[in-house]
């Protein structure tokens, strides 16, 4: 069982990513005792793996101490999802390594150049440093001390033409010979369905096909590439590279707007006490009902169907 521990490093994250709602309000920074209480709750319900996330856990000064606490409590694997900027501090990285915990760091690159990455993270050179340069140095430091890194990126209007370069950069940074590089590509969740907020960065999932196909066809064979929660009809064919989490049979019908067909919620939990946030709800649409791959797919995010529809997507009937 995997638990999620949220650690916000400071009131405002060092990055201001265009797709992150965190920039709209200050973060709540946990004290040590509060973090321990949250960790103990996860341990008490049987978690054996814990993912540490937040805005941003790498900025939480006692991160190595909480990692060591989790290891001593019997947690077998700790994943840390961080922008990687504080990993530029080699001493900090060494402290993580010295905990002796089995750690994997998930660290994103949203561009292969300073210009692209910093535009998406809205983090140009400032008193806090340079986001792209910090993250690159952080990845190098992890490789140097032997901390495993998994790369990931999200497709946006700003980096869709750069995806191959991002994969190649990860491969160059993480390669230590024959070692396999693991990289995830995903769509980015729309948390506020207001066109004014998303028009400059959002690449609708339905339009990602050409960029995903190009990336997979050109990818180094020593790279394990995973595409998260993208329908097969977007990619254009069945591929084992697509990973759909939280598959669940549809349970609730709702009507779409006049501009889009009616659709069915695809990931409503069977347990009514478990609530899925609106921005994470996904739905099957009209074409899905004739698709042979429907039971292996989660459809599209509801917000995207409402905003962009599902034109150009076709069911697989073979």
Of 174-178, 184-188, 288-292, the range with the lowest mean pLDDT is: 174-178
User: What band does 249 get if pLDDT is binned at 50, 70 and 90?
Assistant: very low
Instruction: Name the least confident of 95-104, 181-190, 240-249, 288-297.
Output: 240-249
Mean pLDDT of the chain: 84
Least Cα distance to 211 among 192, 187, 193, 194 occurs for 187
pTM: 0.86
Q: From the CB of residue 34, how many other CB atoms can be counted at a distance below 10 Å?
A: 12
Q: Write out pLDDT tens, residues 26-67.
A: 678 889 999 999 999 999 999 999 999 988 899 998 999 999
Q: Which of 40, 105, 41 is closest to 72 using CA atoms?
A: 40
Q: Where are the domains of the chain?
A: 2-246
**pLDDT tens profile 83-133:** 999 999 999 999 999 999 999 999 999 999 999 999 999 886 666 789 999
CATH topology of domain 2-246: TIM Barrel (3.20.20)
């Amino acid at each position: 069982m995997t638990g999620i521990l949220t650690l916000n490093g400071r009131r405002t994250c060092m990055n201001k990513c265009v797709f992150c709602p965190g920039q709209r309000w200050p973060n709540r920074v946990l004290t040590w005792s509060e973090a321990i209480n949250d960790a103990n709750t996860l341990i008490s319900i049987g978690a054996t793996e814990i993912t540490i996330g937040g805005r941003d856990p790498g900025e939480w000064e006692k991160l190595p101490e909480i990692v060591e606490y989790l290891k001593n409590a019997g947690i077998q694997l700790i994943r840390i999802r961080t922008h990687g900027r504080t990993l530029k501090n080699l001493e900090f990285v060494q402290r993580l390594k010295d905990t002796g915990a089995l750690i994997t760091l998930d660290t994103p690159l949203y561009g292969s150049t300073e210009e692209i990455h910093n535009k998406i993270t809205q983090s140009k050179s400032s008193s806090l440093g340079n986001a792209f340069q910090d993250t690159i140095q952080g990845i190098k430091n992890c490789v140097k001390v032997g901390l495993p890194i998994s790369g990931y990126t999200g497709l946006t209007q700003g980096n869709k033409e750069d995806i191959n370069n991002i994969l190649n950069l990860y491969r160059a940074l993480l390669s230590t010979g024959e070692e396999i590089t693991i990289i995830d590509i995903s769509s980015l969740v729309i948390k506020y369905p207001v066109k004014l907020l998303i028009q400059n960065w959002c690449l609708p999932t339905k339009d990602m096909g050409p960029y995903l196909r190009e990336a997979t066809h050109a990818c180094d064979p020593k790279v394990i590439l995973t595409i998260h929660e993208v329908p097969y009809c977007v990619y254009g064919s069945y591929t084992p590279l697509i990973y759909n989490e939280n598959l669940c049979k549809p349970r609730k019908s709702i009507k779409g707007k006049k501009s889009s067909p009616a659709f069915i919620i695809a990931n409503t939990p069977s347990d009514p006490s478990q609530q899925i946030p609106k921005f994470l709800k996904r739905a099957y649409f009209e074409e899905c009902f004739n698709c042979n791959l429907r039971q292996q797919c989660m459809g599209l995010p509801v917000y995207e169907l409402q905003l962009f529809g599902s034109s150009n997507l076709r069911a697989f009937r073979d």
